[in-house]
Structure 1
Amino acid sequence: MARYYDVHPVNPQPRAIGQVVALLREEGLIAYPTDSCYALGCMIGNKQGLDRIKEIRKLDSRHHYTLMCRDFSQLGQFAEVDNTVFRAIKSATPGEYTFILPASREVPRKLMHPKKRTVGARIPRHPVAMALLDELGEPLLSSTLLLPDVEEPMTDGWLIKEELDHVVDAVIDSGECGTEPTTVIDFSHGEPEIVRYGAGDTARFE
């Protein structure tokens, strides 16, 4: 049964954040809010957690997972970013964007696109997501909480708990955070290519 945490969306309670991070470090899988809908998250090295995300969402090997990063220092450990791409990404973060970038050697093979050797990376601005990343001290492997054959991501924390009670270890409820996933920008070839239109404004990349 998943633990349920009612966490303030602007001033998240440190005790609750600490308990959730302890679960993550024990190879737990959580559902948590971001600035563009809820996401599933676990630690990068949590193979079982990755398998559970795949099963919940019915994902194939071509899916781009997202590394939710606290800042550019973390992002730079797991993705190769030249100066031009860095400036373009910096102007749009933190925010509702996921960037597809060449993966560094730090990224486990299972998290890369099998042919392109790329990975998704994002720096959010939701206070709860940032509090989790600050406490964890490393990126959070994430995927939008969009269930198979459903058009929109789940947005109600209590309904998420009821639906996923036996397949996740914790649900953080911080109220509504939207139903529109991030805008996805592919920088793997240097120039921006918009591969999914979402919550983020695309004007600067067009």
Structure 2
Amino acid sequence: MNGVDFGATATSVFEGLLETLWMVVPAALLAQLVGLGIGLLLAHLRPGSVGARPMLYRLLGSVTNAGRSLPFVVLLVVAIPLTRLVTGTSIGPTAAIVPLTLAAIPFAARLVEAALLEVPAGILDAARSAGATQRQLLFRVLVPEAVPSLVRGFTVMVVSLVGYSAMAGAIGGGGLGDLAIRYGYQRFETAMLVGTVLALVGLVAIVQAFGDRAARRLDHR
């Protein structure tokens, strides 16, 4: 790779990494916040729970599943009017936060529901026997006991968002995906392509390692 300016390539990759983080971090936090609420509601309405409402559960579950089944590339296009309304533009890293958040919310909701369902029934029965109200059962027993699983689910969601952000970059979202397409693919700059791939792999590895460690430290079972 004679003539390659590795310093400029490294700088571009670093800037692309920062743009990717700018897209992924806010989207992950917003999606987790909304997804936690939806996941709690799904767990509360689920057949067999204290607040079981089978029809409402099926309706909310169907909407959540529909959101999960929509391909992200299609969502990027469908969400353009909302993206422009919220950010004033449909291109760039800030604009990409909107579709990334929309894509992650139903995913986060199902992960939250699954994490809550992992809490042993005996713990809930003991809390009910002690006179815990439904609110106390949810927020003082169910959620605290599910924290390790919630952290693992959040980690999975962030890793998925890193992949989504690369796709967003392919249509003007910026970040590492944009670099890989514009320079690595269209201009045949191998160093740039390799650099973006290594940055993405490294980012995913760091997120996964940090999430696994946090979950282990929080798991006192």
Query: Shared fold by TM > 0.5?
Result: no
- Compare the two structures and name the one with the higher helix fraction: 2
Structure with higher Rg: it is 2
TM-score, length-normalised on structure 1?
0.27
TM-score, length-normalised on structure 2?
0.26
